[in-house]
């Protein structure tokens, strides 16, 4: 066990003067949350599916019909457990280089049960998993009843891929890493207009330049945008982003300061304890080739995230990707052995009759 492992273990198992452990304050807070706690929800009773205007399956509260959101507490897992904090997708998309017009890239946290949990924390974590797995189980029964065959990507997974064991990882998908600016991209002459003085807004900000470790966390705003090249692995011919920008999301450190996109590599290390507000969505992608199954993909989406305790893992240091090498071309028609053709021709009845 490393010194960092010992530090985490000692911090999180320490008992205060009131006899409470580090985790007790959080499990008590989740018990007091009511319906803001994902663990108390049951699909079909407290929330249900609907179809939004984009055609995806969204989840809403029942009754009420508001967007379904809830809170969880978890720990950042390893890459083998599903975490993917990189500037590029896990699988190469078609038509590289990777640029503005590709499908959104989302970083992923493979969320696991916190280190050295109390029994209450273990129960809470198990109930998060249970809520999601029960929802998927309901869908699976409907698919079997309708004889519907789908390639499914679930929102939970198993660290060792052993399907005989229950899921122990929740795959949390961040908001898109890159976004193109909204509005008219064609330059038009700017007109001089009257304006009124207004207090500063906390909405979308302008591009800001930052260098190295700074204290800008308190001055950042959700919606600020940055150059994609601020990500340490956003380098080389693999990328062709021109208009897309990194976007400041509502992700905060232990002190309540916003974490810029490039700082996620250092702040969200393996073992980091965090709370997150999540929403749910499901996508059904039709495959136009009848030989292949349609796919169904479940997303647990991170709306907000706050770090509660630092992790013990090293900062993520992913390599910059390379463009895949082109496979050697295959000739459409290879040269044939003329001796084989000649021998075949010798077998023709007319030729054999002449030589008889």
Q: According to the model, what pLDDT value does residue 55 have?
A: 66
- Mean pLDDT across the stretch 113-142? 96
Distance CA 314, CA 79 (A): 12
Q: Is the dihedral of CA 106, 112, 115, 117 positive or negative?
A: positive
- Mean pLDDT across the stretch 49-58? 81
Residue 354 has pLDDT above 70, yes or no: no
Q: According to the model, what pLDDT value does residue 288 have?
A: 75
Residue 46 counted as domain residue: yes
Could you tell me the pLDDT band of residue 324, with boundaries at 50, 70 and 90?
confident
| 3-state DSSP helix/strand/coil % of the chain, to nearest 5 | 25, 25, 55
CA distance readout (Å), 8 to 27, 72, 170, 184: 18, 20, 21, 50
Residue 276 counted as domain residue: yes
Residue 310 counted as domain residue: yes
Could you tell me the pLDDT band of residue 328, with boundaries at 50, 70 and 90?
low
Residue 208 has pLDDT above 60, yes or no: no
Residues 253/309, Cβ–Cβ less than 8 Å: no
- Mean pLDDT across the stretch 30-42? 97
Length of the chain: 356
Could you tell me the pLDDT band of residue 51, with boundaries at 50, 70 and 90?
confident
Residues 85/265, Cβ–Cβ less than 8 Å: yes
- Mean pLDDT across the stretch 73-79? 97
The two tokens of residue 175 are 């908001």
Q: According to the model, what pLDDT value does residue 201 have?
A: 36
Owning domain of residue 277: 3-181+203-326
- Mean pLDDT across the stretch 148-160? 90
- Mean pLDDT across the stretch 66-74? 97
Residue 335 counted as domain residue: no
182 vs 16 pLDDT, higher one: 16
Strands (E) in the chain, as ranges, are: 47-51, 57-61, 69-76, 98-99, 108-112, 150-153, 156-157, 169-173, 178-179, 225-226, 239-240, 245-247, 251-252, 273-285, 294-309
- Mean pLDDT across the stretch 248-255? 97
Using DSSP bridges, classify how beta strands 150-153 and 294-309 pair: parallel, antiparallel or unpaired.
parallel
Q: According to the model, what pLDDT value does residue 342 have?
A: 75
54 vs 196 pLDDT, higher one: 54
The two tokens of residue 265 are 């590599």
Residue 338 counted as domain residue: no
Could you tell me the pLDDT band of residue 1, with boundaries at 50, 70 and 90?
low
Q: For the ranges 111-120, 191-200, 324-333, which has the lowest average pLDDT? A: 191-200
Residue 65 counted as domain residue: yes
Q: According to the model, what pLDDT value does residue 350 have?
A: 64
Residue 336 counted as domain residue: no
Residues 45/59, Cβ–Cβ less than 8 Å: no
Residues 176/104, Cβ–Cβ less than 8 Å: yes
Using DSSP bridges, classify how beta strands 294-309 and 273-285 pair: parallel, antiparallel or unpaired.
antiparallel
Percentage of the chain lying above the pLDDT 90 cut: 66
Residues 239/320, Cβ–Cβ less than 8 Å: no
Place of tokens 């309540």: 256
By CB atoms closer than 10 A (0-12, 13-18, 19+), residue 300 is: buried
The two tokens of residue 268 are 């969200």
Residue 176 counted as domain residue: yes
Could you tell me the pLDDT band of residue 325, with boundaries at 50, 70 and 90?
confident
Q: According to the model, what pLDDT value does residue 341 have?
A: 72
Number of structural domains the chain divides into: 1
Residues 12/113, Cβ–Cβ less than 8 Å: no
């Amino acid at each position: 066990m490393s010194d960092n492992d010992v530090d985490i273990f000692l911090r999180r198992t320490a008992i205060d003067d009131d006899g409470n452990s580090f985790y007790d304050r959080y499990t008590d807070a989740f018990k007091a949350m009511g319906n803001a706690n994902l663990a108390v929800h049951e699909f079909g009773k407290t929330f249900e599916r609907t179809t939004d205007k984009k055609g995806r399956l969204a989840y809403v509260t029942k009754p009420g019909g508001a967007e379904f959101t809830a809170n969880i507490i978890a720990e950042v897992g390893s890459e083998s457990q599903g975490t993917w904090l990189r500037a590029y997708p896990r699988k190469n998309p078609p038509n590289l280089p990777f640029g503005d017009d590709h499908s959104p890239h989302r970083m992923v946290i493979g969320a696991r049960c916190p280190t050295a949990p109390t029994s209450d924390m273990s129960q809470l974590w198990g109930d998060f998993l249970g809520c999601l797995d029960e929802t998927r189980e309901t869908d699976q029964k409907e698919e079997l009843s309708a004889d519907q065959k789908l390639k499914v990507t679930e929102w939970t997974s198993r660290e060792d891929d052993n399907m005989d064991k229950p899921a122990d990882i929740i795959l949390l998908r961040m908001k898109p890493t890159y976004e193109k600016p909204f509005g008219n991209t064609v330059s038009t002459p700017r007109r001089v207009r009257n304006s009124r003085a207004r207090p500063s807004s906390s909405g979308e900000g302008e591009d800001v330049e930052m260098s190295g470790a700074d204290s800008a966390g308190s001055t950042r705003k959700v919606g600020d945008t940055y150059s994609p090249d601020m990500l340490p692995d956003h380098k080389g011919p693999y990328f062709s982003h021109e208009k897309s920008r990194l976007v400041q999301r509502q992700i905060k450190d232990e002190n309540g300061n916003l974490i810029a996109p490039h700082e996620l590599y250092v702040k969200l290390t393996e073992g980091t304890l965090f709370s997150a507000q999540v929403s749910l969505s499901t996508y059904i992608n039709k495959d136009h080739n009848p030989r292949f199954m349609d796919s169904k993909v479940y997303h647990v989406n991170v709306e907000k995230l706050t770090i509660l305790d630092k992790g013990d893992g090293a900062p993520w240091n992913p390599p910059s990707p390379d463009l895949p090498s082109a496979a050697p071309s295959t000739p459409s028609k290879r040269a044939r052995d003329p001796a084989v053709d000649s021998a075949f021709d010798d077998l023709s009845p007319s030729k054999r009759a002449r030589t008889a």
